[in-house]
Amino acid sequence: MKQTPFYHYDLELLDRTLQAIKAAIGSHSNYHVHYAIKANANPMVLERICKAGFGVDCVSGGEVDAALKAGFAPEKIVFAGVGKADWEIELALKAGIFCFNVESEPELEVISQMASEMGKQATIALRVNPNVDAHTHANITTGLAENKFGINIELLPALVKRAQSMPGIKLDGLHFHIGSQILQMDVFETLAYRINQLLDQLSLEGFRPTHINVGGGLGIDYENPEENPIPDFAGYFETLSKHLNLGAGQQLHSELGRSVVAQCGRLITKVLYVKKGTVKQFVIVDAGMTDLVRPAMYGSHHKIVNISSTGPEEKYDVVGPICESSDVFDKDIMLAETHRGDYLAILSAGAYGEIMASQYNLRKLPGSSSTLE
């Protein structure tokens, strides 16, 4: 076994997932997927996604840079984010990316001015906050009026006019992203209806966007990852195609992140100690919240399996070594009888796992591999 903790990526499953997305898109030649690179930017993973022909969705200059270095074509890069710094805008303008997803009027002005100075026109979409409840964890909900993201829907018509009058701006689309880990398809249906309404309203005012970007957010099965490794892409694209009224030539863009990579990654960790308390048994592992922060940060649940033992199951809390009470992977779970030196796999960790690792407690960053040896 490699030095633990490390992320183990099943690239064959990643390939099957990418094929499933393509199959779900089918003959919709006006559908374009930009992989949300913030979910996982491991070079092995990016290589497969790039090779499969996907575009990429970035939320920072560093991500734009990483996407270009991984070989993604600039004309398939979209760039979102509420706080784009000048250097990030400049980098993206120079690269000639497909689209800036703009989140405020002052940002629009800065992009217009910088593009004009470079003798360019920036293609942009306005990110609309559609006030749709994603019915997901509060920390990963982004499409409510109270969230910092996007442009309030009532303020949009005026901003469309402003954008159309700016010399450095080519207003091309509308962008939406309402949250993450969305499993109820009726949430996407509601989003589609909201977009339809908005398109009707804007069309009366003479604006017809060339492209609609519905963002990402499709969820995955954290409870039964082994039985259900590939998310419901067919249901997702069917919901959009059935309920979103696109006109002739109008393009649909989507920014799937988690659903593309979550199931192909697992965190492999070694058991340091099994400690018996008065009411609990603790499995203390060498991975911590610095390697996988989701349980501590979002209270999220990852299935854990002991890949070394087949003994009878017992109840354990699985905890990391970090000096924080929240450094707990799961409580009261059943694992095959566990001993020092066993290896545990924390499943469904391919998205928002490795990329969020930190060096808190001066720890080493986790490694990664497509094999166990």
Q: Say which amino acid occupies 314.
A: E
Q: Which stretch binds ligand PLP (CB under 6 A): 23-31, 221-229, 257-265, 326-334?
A: 257-265
User: Using N-to-C axis directions, what is the helix angle for 105-117 and 86-95, rounded to 10°?
Assistant: 50
Rounded to a whole number of angstroms, the minimum distance from the CB of residue 262 to ligand PLP is: 8
For the window 312-351, what string marks contact with ligand PLP as x by the rule CB under 6 A?
----------------------------------------
Rounded to a whole number of angstroms, the minimum distance from the CB of residue 174 to ligand PLP is: 13
CA-CA-CA-CA torsion sign (204, 207, 210, 215): negative
How many amino acids of this chain bind ligand PLP (CB under 6 A)? 17
Distance, CA of 41 to CA of 354 (rounded, Å): 9
Rounded to a whole number of angstroms, the minimum distance from the CB of residue 55 to ligand PLP is: 12
- Closest CB to ligand PLP among residues 72, 343: 72
According to the binding rule CB under 6 A, does residue 102 interact with ligand PLP? no
Helix (H, G, I), strand (E, B) or coil at 61: helix
According to the binding rule CB under 6 A, does residue 180 interact with ligand PLP? yes
Helix (H, G, I), strand (E, B) or coil at 95: helix
List C-alpha distances in Å: 260 to 20, 255, 361: 10, 10, 31
For residues 300 and 351, is the Cβ–Cβ distance under 8 A?
no
According to the binding rule CB under 6 A, does residue 258 interact with ligand PLP? yes
For residues 7 and 367, is the Cβ–Cβ distance under 8 A?
yes
- Closest CB to ligand PLP among residues 91, 99: 99
According to the binding rule CB under 6 A, does residue 124 interact with ligand PLP? no
According to the binding rule CB under 6 A, does residue 294 interact with ligand PLP? no
Q: What are phi and psi of 137, to 5 degrees?
A: -60, 135
According to the binding rule CB under 6 A, does residue 209 interact with ligand PLP? no
- Closest CB to ligand PLP among residues 211, 258: 258
Q: Give residue for tokens 């469309």.
A: 160
User: DSSP code of 86?
Assistant: H
According to the binding rule CB under 6 A, does residue 217 interact with ligand PLP? yes
According to the binding rule CB under 6 A, does residue 39 interact with ligand PLP? yes
Indicate the pairing of strand 211-213 with strand 151-152. Answer: unpaired
According to the binding rule CB under 6 A, does residue 211 interact with ligand PLP? no
According to the binding rule CB under 6 A, does residue 57 interact with ligand PLP? yes
Q: Say which amino acid occupies 178.
A: I
- Closest CB to ligand PLP among residues 39, 198: 39
Rounded to a whole number of angstroms, the minimum distance from the CB of residue 351 to ligand PLP is: 6
Do you find a cis peptide bond into 225, omega within 30 degrees of 0? no
For residues 358 and 293, is the Cβ–Cβ distance under 8 A?
yes
According to the binding rule CB under 6 A, does residue 59 interact with ligand PLP? yes
User: Using N-to-C axis directions, what is the helix angle for 233-243 and 185-204, rounded to 10°?
Assistant: 30
Q: Which stretch binds ligand PLP (CB under 6 A): 213-221, 232-240, 336-344, 365-373?
A: 213-221
Q: Which stretch binds ligand PLP (CB under 6 A): 82-90, 103-111, 254-262, 326-334?
A: 254-262
Rounded to a whole number of angstroms, the minimum distance from the CB of residue 236 to ligand PLP is: 10
State the CB neighbour count (10 A cutoff) for residue 363: 18
Distance, CA of 222 to CA of 220 (rounded, Å): 6
The only residue of 8, 84, 177, 363 in contact with ligand PLP, by rule CB under 6 A = 177
According to the binding rule CB under 6 A, does residue 215 interact with ligand PLP? yes
According to the binding rule CB under 6 A, does residue 150 interact with ligand PLP? no
Strand intervals (E) in the chain: 6-9, 31-36, 55-58, 77-79, 99-102, 122-129, 151-152, 169-175, 211-213, 251-254, 265-276, 281-285, 304-306, 313-319, 328-336, 343-346, 367-369
- Closest CB to ligand PLP among residues 36, 240: 36
According to the binding rule CB under 6 A, does residue 257 interact with ligand PLP? yes
Rounded to a whole number of angstroms, the minimum distance from the CB of residue 92 to ligand PLP is: 14
The binding site for ligand PLP (CB under 6 A) comprises: 36, 38-39, 57, 59, 80, 177, 180, 215-218, 255-259
